[in-house]
Structure 1
Amino acid sequence: MVGMFGGTFDPVHNAHLRVALDVVEAGDLERLHLIPCHVPPHRGDPDVTAEHRLAMLKRAAAGEPRFLVDDRELQRDGPSYTVDTLRSLHADAAGVHLVLVVGTDSFLSLPRWHQWRELVEWAHVVVLERPFAVGNMPSTLESWLQGRRAENWTELREAPAGRVLFQPVTPMAVSATDVRARMRAGRSPRYLLPDPVWDYIREHGLYGAGRQVG
């Protein structure tokens, strides 16, 4: 079983990595593709270039052999639609069960995604369930979820696609928005980011961090 975990990773931080590892271990995944998006369809452009975001993600993922940094969305023109990425992954790994990993906020916004109902034709969906992430489920999504919810990873392995599993993960209240705000205010994000990522940010003066020394 192979997973896909996408996002802007602007910048990648420790919570991204911790929940990714939680999913890999819970599902005994062969690998998890970490896929930075090129043009996010549902938010503004990232603060730094794709080249920098990819480089930071590679530094962050180094040392965990089950993490695979995948730049396929950066190679495509136009918006980074998840359904297109799943089709591409499916073509590369025929016969392998795919898992789309999404956060709670992303799951709740699913009805606004491009061709969102087709996602489960290509993969299972695993929702990162954290105690502090709350929200009301849209009625459209609630109806769609009926009959799709899985109770465990065994159920995901028994079907090629189409199920939704809510996976508890380590509660870490870290966000890229907060990390960027700290750096712009001249405060250090150390211990919220992997040290190699923080070193890269300072080296290249990203997010207004050129003046940071700690």
Structure 2
Amino acid sequence: MELIGIFGGTFNPIHNGHLVLAKTVLDTLHCNQIRFIPSAIPPHKAIPAVTARHRANMVQLAIADHPEFILDTCELDRQGPSYTIETLHLLRKRLPDQSLCLIMGQDSYLKLPTWHRWLELLDYCHLLVVHRADAEQKLQLHTEHQNRLVNIAHAAEQFTENAHGFISYLPVTPPDISSTRIREALGQREIASVPGIPDKVLYYIKANHLYQS
């Protein structure tokens, strides 16, 4: 069964850390592709000042040299908050015979009970929880929540043998890059000197006067 990674986020802007993580997941789980899904109206964050279309354009530029990476604009094409469960419902209709793996960070995982219809997630996908290899913070949800999330996957094969229903953990040491710091840097210094983002994305930001004070 083909395995497709689902990588959602505001990507405000996309940076090299996102690309490194996607490549790590691709290689570790032997995914057939990683779908980058920019959020139009993120439910747990303020709506970004940069439009969803600009953010999607930057994603497309960043992944252009990676054939296994796909831009999916399904959240930009519908009204209302970009609830993950609704995205997964749509993807499951489009990709009925594939195994879907939702990639999320440890912060998101620990806040999972605040997500819209979170208990239904494993009806549509697997969860891959990415956390820092050196983090001391426990990734377990409260017991009553963890018990409701069913099965822990101890091998990548369970992701490809089953279309949905398992959770696994991926310890990584991500690059020290954040979209917040990049936005701050873009607003405070000469734009050509900001590290951490692909050149094509930097040129796009400069051409469209994004993140400028």
How does the TM-score come out when normalised to structure 1? 0.91
Shift of 1:187: 5.5
User: 1:195 — aligned with what?
Assistant: 199
CA–CA distance in structure 1, aligned partners of residues 134 and 146 of structure 2: 20
CA–CA distance in structure 1, aligned partners of residues 34 and 57 of structure 2: 17
Which of 40, 56, 59 is the equivalent residue of 2:58?
A: 56
Is residue 144 from structure 1 mapped to residue 148 from structure 2 by the alignment? yes
Decide which moves more: 27-36 or 125-134: 125-134
Superposition map of 1:52-131 within 5 A: 52-131=54-133
Indicate how the Cα distance of structure 1 residues 93 and 208 shifts in structure 2: closer, same or farther if over 3 A, else same. same
CA–CA distance in structure 1, aligned partners of residues 124 and 100 of structure 2: 7
CA–CA distance in structure 2, aligned partners of residues 47 and 133 of structure 1: 31
User: 2:165 — aligned with what?
Assistant: 162
Shift of 1:168: 2.5
CA-based RMSD: 1.7
Indicate how the Cα distance of structure 1 residues 21 and 162 shifts in structure 2: closer, same or farther if over 3 A, else same. same
Indicate how the Cα distance of structure 1 residues 75 and 198 shifts in structure 2: closer, same or farther if over 3 A, else same. same
CA–CA distance in structure 2, aligned partners of residues 10 and 133 of structure 1: 25
Give 1:64's aligned amino acid.
H
For residue 211 of structure 2, give the secondary structure of its aligned residue in structure 1.
Answer: helix
Give 2:104's aligned amino acid.
V
Q: Give 4+ residue runs of structure 1 displaced > 6 Å after superposition.
A: none
Asked if 1 retains the 8 angstrom alpha-carbon contact of 2:185 and 2:194, the reply is: no
For residue 206 of structure 1, give the secondary structure of its aligned residue in structure 2.
Answer: coil
Give 1:82's aligned amino acid.
T
User: 2:35 — aligned with what?
Assistant: 33
Query: Sequence identity, in percent?
Result: 37
CA–CA distance in structure 2, aligned partners of residues 46 and 133 of structure 1: 28
Is residue 173 from structure 1 mapped to residue 203 from structure 2 by the alignment? no
CA–CA distance in structure 1, aligned partners of residues 114 and 25 of structure 2: 25
Asked if 2 retains the 8 angstrom alpha-carbon contact of 1:4 and 1:98, the reply is: yes
Is residue 207 from structure 1 mapped to residue 211 from structure 2 by the alignment? yes
Indicate how the Cα distance of structure 1 residues 134 and 196 shifts in structure 2: closer, same or farther if over 3 A, else same. farther
Decide which moves more: 180-189 or 153-162: 180-189
Decide which moves more: 184-193 or 49-58: 184-193
Q: Report how many aligned residue pairs link the two structures.
A: 208
Shift of 1:183: 1.4
For residue 207 of structure 1, give the secondary structure of its aligned residue in structure 2.
Answer: coil
Indicate how the Cα distance of structure 1 residues 133 and 42 shifts in structure 2: closer, same or farther if over 3 A, else same. farther
Asked if 1 retains the 8 angstrom alpha-carbon contact of 2:186 and 2:194, the reply is: no
CA–CA distance in structure 2, aligned partners of residues 73 and 10 of structure 1: 15
- In structure 2, stretches of 5+ residues that fail to align are none
User: 1:212 — aligned with what?
Assistant: none
